Amino acid sequence: MTVFIVVAALLVLGALLFIVPPLVRAKGGKSVSRSSVNAAVYRDQLRELDADLAAGTLSQEGYEQARREVDTRVLQEAAAEDTASAPPVRGRNAAVVATIAVPVLAGLLYLLVGTPQALSPETLPSNDSAHTIDQQQLVAMVEKLAERMKANPDDPDGWVMLARSYSVIGRFADSANAYKEATARVPDNAQLLADYADALAMAQNRRLEGEPEKLIARALKIDPNNVKALALAGTIAFDRKDYASAVTHWQRIVQTAPPDSKIKQAIEASIAEAQALAGKPVAAPPAAMAASPAAAAPGGSATVSGVVTLAPELSSKVAPNDIVFIYARAAEGPRSPLAVLRKPARELPAKFTLDDSMAMGPDLKLSSFQRVIVAARVSKTGEVTPRPGDLQGTSEVVASSATGVTVVINTEVR
């Protein structure tokens, strides 16, 4: 915590160094609007969010939501500003105001959207309460920002804010155009290039081929460990059925992500899906190395068998052609699947047998662990990664050689 406070203080100090000296030197006839202060706070807040994402204390979903919150708040500030009627703040007075306002506003914004606690699913406000402005007002503020950028086109931070604001209201083509302006002025920012590629893909019906792919390659050349660029590069390879390349990209995320981070768990699920579709282990996830030989099941092999059933109250939500993934994972240790079985939903209730022949890698298999959990999930999309609307259930902790295991699919993924 102390280190974080020191780093945050240095970031705020850095922002003040860009703002205060020009204000002190400014002549009396020049006025300063709140937009200059807001821009500094915006940049400072984005640095903090980027640091949280890189450290793994903030998921990609939380990161995106936090940035939308910051964009919306800055837009509200911009809409409320009226420099024509407000009395000017001049010279040293403006410097004093900025010196006080920047750290205070930065601290308040971080408390609102920048901390991992504020972004956890349990504490996030619902969509109904998180936004006090309606869509029409938000569109009007975005258009006002767009007009300002026409008058001040050399502000890359403004273009980034405009791009993200367009994404919030679903105007992805406009968002991509704004990112294009930003990257033209800041061409060596890997995160910016990855965001540009994402917006461009959304504008062309979620297709990453073509220009988005080139942007992702540029981003990875600048920063080979950029999480978003690696995730998108893996998706491109996966869509081309080049599962080995997909796993290679995604494992680089796993190698750098903290052990308990949500993004690591999601990527490990994607790796498992690629391996399952390839029909053979493509590569062992790095987490497999954590398996201790002392934890191996007696006899050097393991087989778990039982039956998967569907709760009657959920039967109306399952189509015959939905895919059911049945898999085992270690009760203590890496969350990557140790063995995976795929069945059509029309076979429910379904008997299953999981063994080492279904392992995801040579060092990550049932016989490496004595205690496992068996899970089953009805996938509405056919993907291993859980999606809202999927149905799932898990067993109790059982031995890796257990028989007669029962798994009831009784929960909907939200």
DSSP line for 294-344: GGPPGGG--EEEEEEEE-GGGGGG--TT-EEEEEEEESSS--S-SEEEEEE
**Where among 107, 132, 157 does a domain terminate?**
132
Residue 24, domain member (yes or no): yes
Residue 205, domain member (yes or no): no
Tell how strand 350-355 and strand 303-310 pair up. Answer: antiparallel
In a shared domain, residues 317 and 215: no
Residue 184, domain member (yes or no): no
Where residue 233 sits, what CATH number does that domain have? Answer: 1.25.40.10
In a shared domain, residues 261 and 322: no
- Residue 32's pLDDT is 43
N- to C-terminal Cα separation, the chain: 32
- Residue 26's pLDDT is 47
In a shared domain, residues 273 and 302: no
Residue 84, domain member (yes or no): yes
The secondary structure element, H or E, covering residue 377 is strand 371-379
| Tokens standing for residue 320 | 């015959």
- Residue 12: CB atoms within 10 A of its CB come to 21
Residue 139, domain member (yes or no): no
Rounded CA-CA distance 195/219 in Å is: 10
- Residue 47's pLDDT is 64
The three-state DSSP-derived secondary structure of 227-267 is HHHHHHHHHHHHHCCCHHHHHHHHHHHHHHCCCCCHHHHHH
**Where among 132, 160, 193 does a domain terminate?**
132
- Residue 241: CB atoms within 10 A of its CB come to 11
In a shared domain, residues 329 and 383: yes
In a shared domain, residues 322 and 245: no
- Tokens 């006002």 -> residue: 144
Residues of the chain with pLDDT under 50: 1-4, 6-7, 10, 26-34, 37, 82-90, 96, 111-113, 115-132, 282-300
Tell how strand 391-399 and strand 323-330 pair up. Answer: unpaired
Rounded CA-CA distance 79/137 in Å is: 10
What residues have CB less than 8 Å from 43, skipping those under 6 apart?
A: 15, 157
Domain count, the chain: 3
- Residue 29's pLDDT is 42
Rounded CA-CA distance 4/143 in Å is: 36
- Tokens 């080139």 -> residue: 214
Query: How do residues 364-390 score in pLDDT, each as one tens digit?
Result: 788 888 889 999 999 988 776 778 889
- Tokens 């994972």 -> residue: 329
In a shared domain, residues 123 and 32: yes
Q: How far is CA 123 from CA 73, 120, 265, in A?
A: 19, 6, 21
**Where among 103, 132, 161 does a domain terminate?**
132
Where residue 318 sits, what CATH number does that domain have? Answer: 2.60.40
Using N-to-C axis directions, what is the helix angle for 135-151 and 156-168, rounded to 10°?
A: 160
Residue 48: which domain range?
2-132
In a shared domain, residues 270 and 303: no
Tell how strand 303-310 and strand 405-409 pair up. Answer: parallel
- Residue 383's pLDDT is 75
Residue 76, domain member (yes or no): yes
| Tokens standing for residue 350 | 């379904």
Query: How do residues 259-268 score in pLDDT, each as one tens digit?
Result: 666 777 778 8
Tell me if the bond preceding 285 is cis, omega within 30° of 0.
no
In a shared domain, residues 254 and 352: no
In a shared domain, residues 302 and 394: yes
- Sign, CA torsion 218/221/222/224: positive
- Residue 293's pLDDT is 35
In a shared domain, residues 269 and 381: no
In a shared domain, residues 270 and 300: no
The secondary structure element, H or E, covering residue 24 is helix 2-25
In a shared domain, residues 8 and 117: yes
The secondary structure element, H or E, covering residue 372 is strand 371-379
Residue 144, domain member (yes or no): no
